[in-house]
């Protein structure tokens, strides 16, 4: 089967349709609605037996997440080679995420509801065409509807002329509670009515004078690119990996290798939350799980050359399932490109006058998801020296609320006349199935430790690195500490470097890392327990995939990482998964309005004894500039 797809190639459109047809043959699934259909990933041992030892190719399987006629969430696994159903798992008391077709249906229901029409008329609004409805996940905070309905909160905004930024004009203290299954308006809630702000929210091309005198920067590669793409398998110098898009996780990397050596089996965003800090009942329920309640892949954009990606670009399209089992194509969902990245290394020898310098470049794998008012760019950056950097760029428009003069701002900040934005957090949990030189790894925490002043440190200047082996899940629930330069080494204890230490990669925090700020009694503290710590480490379990559980919509009880790690399983010298939470604590400022400059967060995976010396000594000096000069 020379034409058989790579085991980590995403499902083709024909495979998605075939999987849907097979899933419908399961008992009680005939009238189901599809939440997602994706690759059921090959068993890890079977995959490596195939790719590393020439064993049989793993069976091609798909997993269909469905919402059946009994309003139950099920995952039906089908064997595409055999044409059969091989598993059917029920998720009791689970709700599926909001789907794109539900946004449209809910907005139409809200705009047609007599009570909503009357409430808007009381505020001087009688043109429903000028009203924008944001359909938002309900959270679960003790409302009488919780547990009885799968519902969303529908929040209205007033659009200005010609599609002006509606977030400039929130229709404050009015919302509808809508059953997502029936589109029935369950309730209209009103609080203290406030005037609609008269803020100016324009930022679009043609609505503001454009700066002149900006000279173009041209990025060209006249001899072509230095990478190849075979399906979704990418090769760039010493790196090789697969890249694809999944409905919930968004951008996913598989089987990442450097010079053929294993580094990562799988990497993805396992969940992200956006909890808001304003206590008003119009806003205190806003705690969005952008992966589990909306779907980072389902919300992914088609990228635009020259804007989202610049240079010599190769794009990968993505194919997801619609609710009826047909195919939705996202053209240009992932972009691949090289970019210049400052210096790789340099030294000037003053004794000889010799200067050696090498330009760095990096390889970028990028996708972008828009979830409501925010846009998130997920960039995996690969370096020539063996490092991997995950960078999340945050773009978009802040959430807004009407503000009256003299009103206590509480957890908000004024950004325009009569308009404020609530402070909030963005916490991204990444699941890193690290297999550093093989599956048996151990995690050590490394931090700086000042040596007490005394005979061994008479001047008080000495410090050393302190190493702590993390042997159980409870020991590995750790927090970043910039004061101690805390890092975590993931190494193979059976492979040693020239220094005698395990061949390792280290996890290095980037930017400040603030854990979840909600108090322990808050509902979100239970629902998003992964945000309590920067790092978690678990033994590898293929069904432990999402940091807050697979289906967090409306769930009130604890699930995901805190639930799994309560068993306090051993994690030493075994196949482990690291979970890293990066984040932005967003103190809103006037400069964030009407559209915010990019904010960034992320982390780095750096080789630490993975090589015996600098792996880029063979990198050539640039021919385009003076990167080498003898004295």
Task: Pick the catalytic residue from 151, 276, 294, 374.
Answer: 374
Q: Report whether 383 contacts 362 (CB < 8 A).
A: yes
- In order, the DSSP letters of 295-348 are -TTTTBPPP-BTTTB-SS-EEEEEEEE-TTS-EEEEEEEEEEEEEEEEEEEEEE
H/E segment holding residue 449: strand 442-450
Closest alpha carbon to 486 in 472, 507, 470: 507
Kindly provide the b/e burial profile for residues 465-478, where b requires at least 16 CB atoms within 10 angstroms of the residue's own CB: eeeeebeebebbbb
Tokens of 556: 């009130």
> Is position 81 annotated as part of the catalytic site?
no
Q: What is the spatial distance between Cα 597 and Cα 395, in angstroms, rounded to a whole number?
A: 7
Phi, psi of 156 (to 5 degrees): -90, 145
Q: Report whether 379 contacts 390 (CB < 8 A).
A: yes
> Is position 288 annotated as part of the catalytic site?
no
Longest dimension (CA), the chain: 85
Q: What is the DSSP letter of 163?
A: G
What torsion do the CA atoms of 140, 142, 147, 148 make, to the nearest 10 degrees? -120
Phi, psi of 142 (to 5 degrees): 85, 15
Task: Pick the catalytic residue from 278, 290, 435, 592.
Answer: 290
Strand order, beta sheet including 401-402 = 401-402, 419-422, 412-416
Q: What is the spatial distance between Cα 441 and Cα 401, in angstroms, rounded to a whole number?
A: 49
- In order, the DSSP letters of 236-298 are ETTEEEEEEEETTTEEEEEEEEETTEEEEEEEEEEEEEEEB---STTTTT-EEEIIIII-TTT
Q: What is the spatial distance between Cα 511 and Cα 2, in angstroms, rounded to a whole number?
A: 46
Q: What is the DSSP letter of 177?
A: E
Tokens of 289: 């799980």
Q: Report whether 382 contacts 173 (CB < 8 A).
A: no
Tokens of 525: 């503290």
Find the radius of gyration of the CA atoms of the chain. 26
In the block, residue with structure tokens 């998720």: 91
Cis peptide bond upstream of 117, omega within 30 = no
Closest alpha carbon to 300 in 269, 336, 267, 330: 330
Phi, psi of 76 (to 5 degrees): -110, 120
Q: What is the spatial distance between Cα 198 and Cα 335, in angstroms, rounded to a whole number?
A: 39
Closest alpha carbon to 341 in 356, 359, 358: 359
Phi, psi of 26 (to 5 degrees): -70, 155
Tokens of 383: 């370096």
Dihedral sign, CA of 517, 518, 520, 526?
negative
**Cα atoms in the Cβ-side hemisphere of radius 13 Å centred on 320:** 26
Q: Report whether 355 contacts 209 (CB < 8 A).
A: no
Cis peptide bond upstream of 621, omega within 30 = no
Residues labelled catalytic: 290, 374
């Amino acid at each position: 089967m020379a034409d058989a797809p790579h085991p980590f190639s995403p499902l083709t459109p024909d495979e998605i349709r075939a999987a849907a047809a097979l899933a419908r043959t399961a008992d009680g699934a005939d009238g189901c609605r599809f939440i997602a259909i994706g690759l059921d990933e090959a068993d890890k041992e079977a995959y490596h037996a195939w790719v590393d030892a020439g064993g049989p190719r793993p069976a091609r399987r798909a997993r269909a997440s469905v919402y059946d006629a009994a309003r139950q969430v099920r995952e039906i696994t089908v064997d595409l080679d055999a044409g059969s159903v091989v598993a059917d798992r029920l998720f009791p008391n689970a709700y599926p995420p909001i789907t794109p077709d539900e946004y449209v249906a809910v907005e139409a229901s809200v705009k047609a509801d007599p009570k909503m029409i009357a409430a808007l008329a009381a505020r001087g609004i009688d043109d429903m065409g000028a009203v924008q409805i944001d359909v938002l996940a309900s959270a679960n905070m003790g409302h009488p509807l919780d547990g009885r309905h799968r519902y969303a909160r529908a929040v209205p905004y007033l659009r200005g002329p010609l599609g002006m930024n509606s977030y400039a004009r929130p229709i404050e203290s009015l919302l509808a509670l809508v059953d997502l299954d029936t589109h029935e308006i369950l309730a209209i809630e009103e609080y203290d009515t406030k005037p609609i702000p008269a803020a100016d929210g324009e930022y679009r091309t043609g609505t503001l004078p454009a700066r002149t005198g900006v000279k173009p920067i041209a990025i060209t590669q006249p001899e072509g690119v230095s990478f190849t793409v075979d399906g979704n398998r990418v090769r760039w110098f010493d790196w090789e990996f697969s890249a694809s898009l999944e409905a919930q996780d968004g951008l996913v990397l598989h089987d990442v290798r450097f010079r053929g050596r294993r580094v990562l089996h799988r990497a993805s965003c396992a969940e992200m939350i956006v909890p808001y800090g304003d206590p008003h009942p119009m806003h205190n329920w806003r705690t969005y799980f952008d992966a589990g309640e909306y779907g980072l892949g389902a919300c992914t954009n088609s990228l635009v050359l020259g804007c989202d990606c610049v240079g010599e670009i190769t794009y990968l399209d993505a194919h997801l399932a619609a609710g009826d089992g047909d195919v939705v194509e996202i053209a240009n969902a992932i972009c691949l490109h090289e970019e210049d990245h400052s210096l790789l290394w340099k030294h000037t020898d003053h004794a000889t006058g010799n200067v050696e310098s090498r330009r760095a470049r990096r390889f970028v794998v990028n996708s972008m998801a828009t979830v409501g008012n925010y846009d998130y760019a997920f960039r995996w950056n690969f370096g020539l020296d063996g490092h991997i950097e995950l960078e999340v760029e945050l773009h978009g428009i802040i959430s807004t609320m009407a503000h009256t003069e003299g009103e206590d701002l509480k957890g908000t900040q004024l950004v325009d006349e009569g308009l404020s934005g609530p402070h909030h957090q963005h916490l991204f949990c990444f699941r890193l199935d690290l297999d550093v030189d093989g599956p048996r790894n151990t995690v050590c925490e490394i931090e700086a430790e000042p040596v007490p002043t005394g005979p061994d440190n008479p001047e008080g200047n000495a410090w050393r690195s302190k190493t702590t082996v993390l042997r159980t899940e409870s020991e590995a629930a750790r927090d970043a500490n910039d004061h101690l330069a805390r890092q975590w080494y993931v190494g193979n204890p059976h492979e040693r470097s020239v220094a005698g230490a395990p061949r390792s990669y280290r996890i290095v925090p980037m930017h400040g890392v603030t854990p979840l700020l909600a108090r322990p009694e808050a509902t979100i503290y239970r629902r998003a327990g992964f945000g309590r710590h920067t790092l978690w480490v678990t033994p590898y379990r293929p069904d432990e995939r999402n940091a807050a559980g697979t289906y967090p919509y409306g769930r009130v009880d604890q699930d995901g990482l805190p639930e799994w790690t309560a068993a306090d399983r051993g994690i030493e010298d075994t196949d482990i998964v690291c979970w890293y939470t990066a984040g932005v604590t967003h103190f809103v400022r006037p400069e964030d309005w009407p559209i915010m400059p990019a904010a960034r967060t992320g982390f780095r995976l750096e080789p630490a004894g993975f090589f015996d010396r600098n792996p880029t000594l063979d990198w050539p000096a640039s021919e385009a500039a003076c990167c080498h000069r003898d004295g």
